[in-house]
Amino acid sequence: MERLTFDKLWILHKLRHFESFGDMILFIHIILLWCVLPLLLLLPLRHLLTILTPLIPKNTAVPPAPVKIRQKQKIMHFTHYWCSRKIIAARNTCLKTSLILYYFMNRYHIPVRICIGVKKEDSELTGHSWIEDRVCIDQKDKNYNEFITIYSYPE
């Protein structure tokens, strides 16, 4: 019988976040979108958001509320996990995170909008982006109230 080594236990520890094969696919899709985003950011923002807004047929079944809440938590967890890796994400920006969250939330029938705001710190303008449904849905984003929204999509 083969012994469990530290390396194998580490892999099992990392896999605990995946409840299904679909979760692994979602995680991989988040990574792929993150890889393509630098090229997509060359487009004007309105065109980019049009591309990232999924076309969902009207007859598509919408999942019940508890499923949507769990899916929202998974999308946020996987996105923040990947975007917070400093070795991988040399320039970790709120815009990349917000765009990924915007795309996957809407894809999984969780309607959100992306907001971009500014605030003045000392003598400089600082920008930030976040997603919201009626309020900011990202618990890691506690300071979004300090920003004046200058753009949101869809309006």
For every residue of 110-131, DSSP letters joined together read: ---EEEEEEEEETTEEEEEEEE
- Full-model pTM: 0.80
Q: Give CA–CA dist 54/74, Å, rounded.
A: 19
∠ at Cα 121 (141, 49), nearest 5°?
50
Q: Give CA–CA dist 132/124, Å, rounded.
A: 26
Using the structure block, give the residue that is written with the tokens 């869809």: 154
Give the CA distances from residue 143 to residues 33, 69, 127, 136, in Å, rounded to whole numbers and listed in that order: 26, 23, 12, 10
Residue pLDDT, tens place only, 106-151: 888 888 999 999 998 888 888 888 888 876 676 566 677 888 889 9
54, pLDDT greater than 90: no
Q: Give CA–CA dist 146/134, Å, rounded.
A: 17
9, pLDDT greater than 80: no
Residue pLDDT, tens place only, 16-42: 667 888 888 999 999 999 889 889 989
- Give the residue with greater pLDDT, 56 vs 4: 56
Q: Give CA–CA dist 51/140, Å, rounded.
A: 26
